[in-house]
Amino acid sequence: MIRVAVQVAAIDVAAEFDRHDAGGHGASASFIGRVRGDDGLVELFLDHHPEMTEAGLAELARHAAARWCLSALTLIHRVGAMGPGDTIVLVIASSPHRAEALAANEFLIDRLKTDVMLWKRESFADGRAAWVEQRESDQDRAARWAAEGGDAPRT
Query: Looking at residue 154, what is its pLDDT?
Result: 39
Pick the closest to residue 89 from 150, 1, 16 (CA basis): 16
The structural architecture, per CATH, of the domain 2-147 is Alpha-Beta Complex (3.90)
Buried b / exposed e across 84-106, counting CB within 10 Å, b at 16+?
eebbbbbbbbbbeeeebbbbbbb
Per-residue model confidence as pLDDT tens for the chain (155 residues) = 899 999 999 999 999 999 988 777 889 999 999 999 888 999 999 999 988 999 999 999 999 999 999 999 999 999 999 999 999 999 999 999 999 999 999 999 999 888 888 999 999 999 999 998 877 776 777 677 876 665 543 33
Buried b (16+ CB within 10 A) or exposed e, 52-70: ebbebbbebbebbbebbeb
pTM of full prediction above 0.85: yes
Q: Give me the pLDDT at residue 73, please.
A: 96
Q: What is the pLDDT of residue 72?
A: 94
The full set of domain ranges for the chain reads 2-147
